């Protein structure tokens, strides 16, 4: 490109005849045109002075003749200066062509094409980065959902286990509470033979709802893993807690038998007193068992909360690990693409609300000159008028 433009430019600028034309013809043409302009202006000023005393048919005709001569004078002046000004225009064009060849804003320049390639690459990299971040976010959310679900499932299984222990303790307490002299031996055998091992068939269903981004298979896998992880602890804790309750009841059962025997041979009042004392002791024992149960549940709850907090903290650290990949420095701005002519109406409406309505009549007239001219032609040619209290049509009279 440069090998074609530069020699031609030098030829135009450095050619001797061109320089001679500018040096010789330029001053002569300018002097002649200056004289023509001066004479034409003087004649016009003289006519303006005569117009101060009023117009007449004769004066109007002379003015019309003057204006016609002015047009011919302008044509002559144009013929004088055209060779020189055209040469200047050509020289200017050659200078600007050099600039245009490397102007990044012109669509046919190499810098512009390179910039478009950069824009496309930047858009591609931005899309890649957004997709990468979206994938990382989805992965982090999935990991967080799994950990939160895992903690909630564990808490749910522990709650179910505590309920299972409570049911067993309530059954043991009922045996102790309902024992009589007649059923003593049967109750004693039942207590001694009471199975304190966690039932083999015990396998509670978790009621924790599955997170939206977790598949059913993944949720079932977590449920199974958590249950199998907790089962050894449950199998160890159940005999301990239920066995302790059973042993405590067995230790106190002989004393209760003695009291039942005393009640049987005592007077009605004495029997009532003994019964009240037995009820009070049983209530105290039940309260103690309840305290132990609540203490065990509280420990399990604190452990579950600690696990949940650790899982959330791990999720926060996981989010902090994300690092952005390289992307070119970009400026992202919204561009409007019109696909339907009707879309211009809401665009103009928004523009008018935000800016157009605050502009002056002169500014708007300049901006909408083409539209105003179109409506003026409709009025002249088709007698179609715009009806609005904010405008009026006036007749513009021009002498021919």
User: How do residues 221-280 score in pLDDT, each as one tens digit?
Assistant: 999 999 999 999 999 999 999 998 899 889 888 888 887 787 667 667 766 776 677 778
So what's the pLDDT on residue 300? Answer: 67
Phi then psi dihedrals of residue 235, to 5 deg: -65, -25
The alpha-carbon radius of gyration of the chain (Å, integer) is 52
Residues 54, 15: Cα–Cα separation, whole Å = 57
Instruction: With beta carbons less than 8 A apart as the criterion, state whether 77 and 41 touch.
Output: no
Environment class of 149 (CB within 10 Å of its CB; exposed 0-12, middle 13-18, buried 19+): buried
How much is the mean pLDDT over the chain? Answer: 85
Q: What is the pLDDT of residues 100-120, one digit of tens each?
A: 989 999 999 999 999 999 999
H/E segment holding residue 360: none
**What's the pLDDT score for residue 12?**
52
Choose among 250, 246, 234, 259: nearest CA to 289.
246
Contacts 24+ apart (CB under 8 A), 24-29: 25/83, 25/84, 26/84, 29/80, 29/81, 29/84
**Which tens digit of pLDDT belongs to each residue from 133-158?**
999 999 999 999 999 999 999 999 99
Residue 358, classed as helix, strand or coil, is helix
pTM over 0.75: no
26 falls in which pLDDT band (50, 70, 90)?
confident
């Amino acid at each position: 490109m440069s090998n074609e433009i530069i020699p031609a430019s030098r030829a135009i600028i450095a050619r001797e005849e061109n320089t001679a034309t500018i040096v010789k013809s330029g001053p002569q043409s300018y002097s002649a045109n200056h004289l023509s302009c001066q004479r034409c202006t003087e004649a016009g000023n003289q006519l303006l002075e005569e117009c101060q005393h009023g117009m007449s048919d004769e004066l109007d005709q002379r003015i019309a003749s003057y204006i016609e001569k002015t047009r011919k004078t302008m044509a002559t002046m144009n013929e004088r200066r055209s060779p020189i000004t055209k040469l200047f225009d050509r020289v200017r064009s050659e200078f600007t062509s050099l600039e245009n060849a490397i102007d990044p804003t012109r669509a046919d320049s190499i810098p512009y094409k390179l910039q478009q390639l950069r824009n496309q690459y930047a858009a591609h990299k931005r899309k890649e980065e957004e997709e990468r971040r979206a994938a990382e976010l989805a992965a982090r959310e999935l990991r967080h959902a799994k950990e939160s679900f895992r903690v909630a499932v564990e808490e749910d299984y522990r709650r179910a286990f505590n309920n299972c222990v409570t049911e067993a303790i309530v059954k043991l307490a009922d045996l102790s509470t309902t024992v009589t002299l007649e059923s003593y031996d049967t109750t004693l055998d039942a207590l001694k033979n009471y199975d304190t091992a966690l039932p083999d068939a015990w396998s509670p269903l978790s009621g924790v709802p599955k997170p939206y981004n977790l598949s059913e298979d993944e949720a079932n896998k977590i449920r199974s893993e958590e249950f199998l992880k907790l089962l050894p602890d449950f199998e160890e804790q159940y005999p301990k807690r239920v066995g302790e309750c059973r042993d405590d009841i067995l230790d106190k059962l002989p004393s209760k038998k003695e009291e039942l025997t005393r009640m049987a041979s005592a007077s009605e009042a004495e029997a009532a007193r003994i019964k009240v004392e037995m009820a009070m002791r049983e209530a105290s024992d039940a309260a103690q068992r309840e305290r132990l149960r609540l203490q065990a549940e509280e420990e399990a709850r604190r452990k579950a909360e600690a696990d949940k907090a650790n899982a959330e903290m791990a999720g926060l650290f996981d989010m902090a690990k994300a690092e952005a990949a390289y992307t070119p420095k970009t400026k992202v701005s919204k561009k409007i693409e019109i696909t339907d002519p009707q879309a211009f109406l809401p665009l103009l409406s928004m523009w008018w609300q935000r800016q157009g309505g605050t502009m002056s009549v002169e500014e708007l007239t300049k901006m909408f000159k083409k539209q105003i001219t179109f409506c003026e032609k409709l009025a002249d040619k088709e007698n179609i008028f715009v009806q609005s209290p904010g405008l009026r049509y006036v007749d513009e009279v021009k002498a021919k």
